[in-house]
């Protein structure tokens, strides 16, 4: 029996008269991988920003595990158990890989600013636990040997994996991945796909993914939502979306034949 984890209902987002999202609705089940695809400017990142509290929608509702999170600020959405990555790398260049992951553990601490400033026993215990958790995540991802390196010493694909690892440190139930394969080589894409699957299977974590690499999306997704000019034009399994003439037309500008990107 499946449980709906995220529900987006009649979501609208206007920017000075421009309708970036127009009555978008869909659900995703707990433990699933749902992907959002569409041409550039379709509203995919805007959707992510509305779900994570970076934008407040003009209309509509976002529910997470039955709770209305539509009007919550980003830090409060995070406390509900939602984490995200960004299109462009958002790592701290002057911090080591381990230290970047520790930033993702901020939501887990409870000692407070004053205790942290004076390194109280409670703050020190939380710090040790966070370091242990960071090393555990890196070990699980096969990256423990990078813990003391700076992000700039890693390949672009590895830096993307560090950002993914930092999101895992938040112990979120839902992780939003904004173009996790962008800029990666073929082998790096395979490695990232395997990491996502391993985390899903090991921890039952759910993923909402925006990605332009259609073959990867067709391979990894349980369900796909297709946006075009801010509207949802299709939703279904990879096989259903791949055969949808409306989706084919959106990608080709014609309804004649399936584009190579959507072919099996």
Domain ranges of the chain: 4-94+170-262
With a CB cutoff of 8 Å and minimum separation 6, the contacts of 106 are none
Which pLDDT belongs to residue 123?
Answer: 72
Question: Which CATH fold would you assign to the domain 4-94+170-262?
Answer: Rossmann fold (3.40.50)
Mean pLDDT of all residues belonging to the chain: 87
pTM of the model: 0.86
Render pLDDT for 16-54 as a digit per residue (tens, 0 to 9).
889 999 999 999 999 999 999 998 889 999 999 999 999
Q: Is the distance from CB of 91 to CB of 100 less than 8 angstroms? A: yes
* Statement: residue 261 has pLDDT above 80: no
Is the alpha carbon torsion for 131, 103, 149, 193 positive or negative? positive
Q: Which of 38, 159, 179 is nearest to 101 (CA)?
A: 159
Render pLDDT for 99-139 as a digit per residue (tens, 0 to 9).
999 987 765 544 444 444 445 667 778 788 889 999 999 99
Q: Report the SS3 class of residue 177.
A: strand
């Amino acid at each position: 029996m499946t449980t709906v984890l995220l529900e987006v209902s009649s979501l609208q987002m206007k920017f000075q008269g421009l309708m970036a999202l127009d009555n978008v609705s869909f659900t995703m089940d707990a433990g699933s991988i749902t992907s959002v695809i569409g041409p550039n400017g379709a509203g995919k990142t805007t959707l992510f920003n509305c779900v994570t509290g970076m934008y407040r929608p003009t209309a509509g509702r976002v529910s997470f595990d039955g709770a209305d999170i539509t009007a919550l600020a980003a830090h409060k959405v995070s406390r509900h158990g939602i984490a995200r990555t960004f299109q462009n790398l958002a790592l701290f260049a002057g911090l080591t890989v381990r230290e970047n992951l520790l930033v993702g553990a901020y939501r887990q601490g409870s000692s407070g600013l004053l205790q942290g400033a004076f390194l109280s026993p409670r703050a020190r215990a939380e710090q040790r636990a966070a370091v242990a958790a960071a090393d555990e995540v890196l070990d699980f991802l096969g990256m423990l040997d990078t813990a003391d390196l700076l992000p700039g010493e890693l390949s672009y694909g590895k830096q993307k994996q560090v950002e993914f690892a930092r999101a895992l440190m938040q112990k979120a139930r839902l992780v939003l991945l904004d173009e996790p394969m962008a800029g990666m080589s073929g082998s790096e894409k395979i490695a990232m796909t395997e990491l996502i699957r391993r985390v899903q299977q090991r921890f039952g974590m759910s993923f909402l993914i925006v990605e332009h690499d259609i073959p990867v999306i067709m391979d990894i997704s349980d369900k796909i939502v297709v946006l075009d000019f801010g509207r949802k034009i299709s939703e279904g399994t990879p096989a259903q979306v791949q055969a949808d003439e409306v989706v084919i037309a959106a990608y080709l500008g014609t309804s004649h034949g399936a584009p190579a990107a959507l072919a099996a």
